[in-house]
Chains A and B, each alone.
Chain A
Amino acid sequence: MYEYSLFIIGIMMPYLTLIVFGVALIYNFFKWMFLPRPVMWAIFPAKENIVSIFLTIAKRIFSLPGPMKFDKLIFTLAWMFHIGLIVSLSLHAKYILLPHLPFEYEMGSIAGLLAAIGSFGFIIRRYYDKRAESYFADYFALILLIVTLLLGTYIRILKLIDPTQLWSWVQGILSLSPTLPPTNTLFLIHLFFAQIYMMYLPFKTLIHPIAIFYGQKVILDKRHLVEE
């Protein structure tokens, strides 16, 4: 039974996850790309060149000017969550190239905790917020994420998994010669939830970064720029 679980979670699911995640992500991106936008109802001020358009989009992605201006709580939580998640994911992605990094456990633990606190803050905020209704799906995504993050952080803090063992497993998946993953039960639960979340992500939350590119455009218009 345990071996079946190892096979399903550690060998079958990674491929399924990669396929679902990749296809859904590409579908989502192109779905919006091919939807017509014949009329541009822009929001000004406009930008005077392509460089400043890119800088504005980058600013929107990384510094969240809207939440910073209008809602400091969500701005703080979003920063904790995103920074934590980006560092955590980077420390997972490094297995593609190398098995170990200095201060990996320390960085990973802090990042995981930061992201989990951010997510927990989101849940509390949703529950008490009187501005918008939240539905089961909104809570489900966050709870799934918190469980995954906390398990991952716990595994890192207690150093329950040998990075070299993980690296071999990732290399096996990538080279299409899969091997069984590390046999720690907590790790397997973490892996299971992480993969469920990744398959769910493109249908829910991952639309958001895409929306930045297709939402209200930052437009190029020199007409109203101040002429000195």
Chain B
Amino acid sequence: MMEKLFDEYRGLSDKKIRPHEPKSEQFLKAFKELLDKKNNWTFLLPLKLTLEACTHCGTCAEACPVYIGSEREKIYSPVYRADILRRIYKKHFTFSGKIFGRLIGAKEINEQDVNALAEAAYRCTICRRCVLACPFGLDNGLVMREARKILAELNIVPDELKEEGVENQIMYGSAPKIPYEALMNILDFVKSEIEENRKNINVEVPVDKVGAKYLIINNAGDYLSFLDTIRGIVEIMNYVNEDWTFNSSRTGVFDNVNYGLFYSDKDMVRVIKAHLETFKKLKPEYVVIGECGHAYDVLGHLMKDLIPPEERPFKVIHIVELYDKLLREGKLKLDKNKNTKPVTFHDSCKIGRCGGIYEEPRRVITASCKDFREMYPNRELNYCCGGGGGFALMSKYNFLDFRMKTYGKLKVQQVKDTGSSTLITICANCKRQFLDMVSYYNLNINVSGLSEIVANALVY
């Protein structure tokens, strides 16, 4: 039984947090560096602005899925979580905080606060729904992300993200360490299955093809847990007869994820650079991000500000944008009568709110399914599923209970209200969270990617 540091749950082990080891000084040193222009080359302005300009009005709480899902527990409101860091900031890094102290909410750092923050930073999926509520556009979700950066300097990062995530990915080409032979076997199996189901068609699964128009890079988890999605992609790409390829560990990184986004700028850029090395070898015209949300956020958006244009001579699109394009060009012929059961769609935070993709999946789904039902709220106001920020990978200790009893509870109700039997999402982390929800709450709902739904609707 691990001791309570922030709430009744634990996402990180005692070995990782080291609750009885003094860390305050190291924390302040890392915090100081975070506030320096040279060290914080990503989000210094929105971080400082949110730390200084928040009035604690609490409006953001009503936008936060974990706060609502927890029956409105104060400790889960975005402003409460961010205040743990904000109070330390005021005391140690502002003139007024040094003079007026507690009168303005400044507080001397102590070991309990550092330990509490180590867990609190992992009670927010950084879905950034709270930004929409703030009258001033402040970003308490970003504050939690930056807190994770400080903690990472103290080596407080969940193993699922760092050791089993980023490090595996860079070393082996994918976070789940899929060997080349295993990947080839999986793809052979996919090929033979499609050929068996769709008689009279010859299926090609190009891998590591140099100069292809579309390089489709998937979340490696899909090869292991969501093979229907991979099968869907292969079938669709064969159907449209485009010049495309997957890649493997032989050309570098073949896993599109970038868990660095969730805890460290340095690791985020390490992964981006590993991706760039791979793309340089394969020379595609388009890098197509398979069904993954945060990978699209990093490669589709953040990379534009981090890497000069000459080092990324390709376009980045999400696979749903490709389907939408092919559909509008008339290359994808779909029959919605092949998918008659009611379906709903979950807008993943990193694809919608942080990525701008709202209408593309809706156009593709309404062309593929007879009975599409929106969940409410949707688009930029949609609730996070609870798998974001790295949470879908974190189930140790009692963290699964946290995911299910807060975010999960809210999301289950939202999905149930649609009356749909299938839930479509285009992000692997969301899929994993939904699968956990189905099993935790014993739901009779089919969780699906979009690719398999589209493939099923193809008109031959």
Look across to chain A and name the residue whose beta carbon is closest to the beta carbon of B63: A70
Tell which of A9-17, A176-184, A213-221 binds the partner.
A213-221
Hey, which bits of chain A sit against chain B, CB under 8 A?
32, 35-46, 60, 64, 66-67, 69-71, 74, 78, 126, 129-138, 203, 205, 207-208, 210-212, 214-217, 221, 223-224, 226-227
A contact patch SS: loop
Q: How far is the CB of B20 from chain A (nearest CB, A)?
A: 27
Query: What is the 8 Å Cβ interface bit string for chain B, positions 49-78, against chain A (1 contact, 0 not)?
Result: 110110111111111000100001010010
Residues of A within 8 A of B32 (CB): none
> Which of A35, A67, A126, A211 is within 8 Å of B138, CB to CB?
A211
- Answer whether residue B121 sits at the interface, using C-beta atoms and an 8 A cutoff: no
User: Which 8 A-B pairs rank lowest in CB-CB distance, beginning with the nearest?
Assistant: A215-B137, A131-B58, A44-B356, A135-B105, A211-B136, A224-B356, A131-B61, A132-B58
> Which of A44, A74, A212 is within 8 Å of B352, CB to CB?
A44
Complex alpha-carbon distance, A148 and B334, angstroms: 68
- Answer whether residue B41 sits at the interface, using C-beta atoms and an 8 A cutoff: yes
Is the interface on chain B under 10, 10 to 19, 20 to 34, or 35 or more residues? 35 or more
> Which of A32, A36, A137 is within 8 Å of B49, CB to CB?
A32
Q: Is the pair B45, A36 in contact by a Cβ cutoff of 8 Å?
A: yes
Q: Is the pair A215, B139 in contact by a Cβ cutoff of 8 Å?
A: yes
Q: Is the pair B136, A208 in contact by a Cβ cutoff of 8 Å?
A: yes
Q: Is the pair B302, A41 in contact by a Cβ cutoff of 8 Å?
A: yes
Residues of A within 8 A of B194 (CB): none
Look across to chain A and name the residue whose beta carbon is closest to the beta carbon of B59: A71
> Which of B62, B358, B380 is within 8 Å of A43, CB to CB?
B380
Q: Is the pair B104, A136 in contact by a Cβ cutoff of 8 Å?
A: yes
Q: Is the pair A69, B133 in contact by a Cβ cutoff of 8 Å?
A: yes
Q: Is the pair B45, A32 in contact by a Cβ cutoff of 8 Å?
A: yes
> Which of A70, A216, A223 is within 8 Å of B59, CB to CB?
A70
Tell which of B95-103, B111-119, B425-433, B451-459 binds the partner.
B95-103
Residues of B within 8 A of A46 (CB): 356
Residues of A within 8 A of B80 (CB): 131-133
B contact patch SS: helix
Q: Is the pair A224, B359 in contact by a Cβ cutoff of 8 Å?
A: yes
Interface residue ranges of B22-49 to A (CB < 8 Å): 37, 41-46, 48-49
> Which of B103, B135, B353 is within 8 Å of A44, CB to CB?
B353
- Answer whether residue B357 sits at the interface, using C-beta atoms and an 8 A cutoff: yes
Residues of A within 8 A of B105 (CB): 133, 135, 137
Residues of B within 8 A of A35 (CB): 37, 44-45, 48
Residues of B within 8 A of A44 (CB): 352-356, 358, 380
Q: Is the pair A135, B104 in contact by a Cβ cutoff of 8 Å?
A: yes
> Which of B57, B63, B138, B380 is within 8 Å of A74, CB to CB?
B57
Q: Is the pair B103, A137 in contact by a Cβ cutoff of 8 Å?
A: yes
Residues of B within 8 A of A43 (CB): 128, 131-132, 137, 353-354, 380
Hey, which bits of chain B sit against chain A, CB under 8 A?
37, 41-46, 48-50, 52-53, 55-63, 67, 72, 74, 77, 79-80, 83, 96, 100, 102-105, 128, 131-139, 142, 301-302, 305-306, 328, 352-360, 379-381
Q: Is the pair B137, A36 in contact by a Cβ cutoff of 8 Å?
A: no
Q: Is the pair A37, B58 in contact by a Cβ cutoff of 8 Å?
A: no
Q: Is the pair B301, A42 in contact by a Cβ cutoff of 8 Å?
A: yes
Complex alpha-carbon distance, A216 and B46, angstroms: 7
Which residue, B83, B136, B352, has most C-beta atoms of chain A within 10 A? B136
Q: Is the pair A66, B133 in contact by a Cβ cutoff of 8 Å?
A: yes
Residues of A within 8 A of B60 (CB): 70
Complex alpha-carbon distance, A191 and B62, angstroms: 38
Q: Known contacts A215-B136, A216-B137, A224-B360; decide if A41 and B142 are in contact (CB<8 Å).
A: yes
Which residue, B45, B50, B134, has most C-beta atoms of chain A within 10 A? B45
Q: How far is the CB of B105 from chain A (nearest CB, A)?
A: 4
Residues of A within 8 A of B42 (CB): 38-39
Q: Known contacts A44-B354, A45-B358; decide if A208 and B128 are in contact (CB<8 Å).
A: no
Residues of A within 8 A of B56 (CB): 126, 132-135, 138
Q: Is the pair A39, B59 in contact by a Cβ cutoff of 8 Å?
A: no
Residues of A within 8 A of B359 (CB): 224, 226
Look across to chain A and name the residue whose beta carbon is closest to the beta carbon of B77: A131
Residues of B within 8 A of A135 (CB): 56, 102-105
Q: Known contacts A40-B305, A133-B56; decide if A224 and B358 are in contact (CB<8 Å).
A: yes
Q: How far is the CB of B286 from chain A (nearest CB, A)?
A: 13
Q: How far is the CB of A85 from chain B (nearest CB, A)?
A: 15
Look across to chain A and name the residue whose beta carbon is closest to the beta carbon of B136: A211
Look across to chain B and name the residue whose beta carbon is closest to the beta carbon of A73: B59
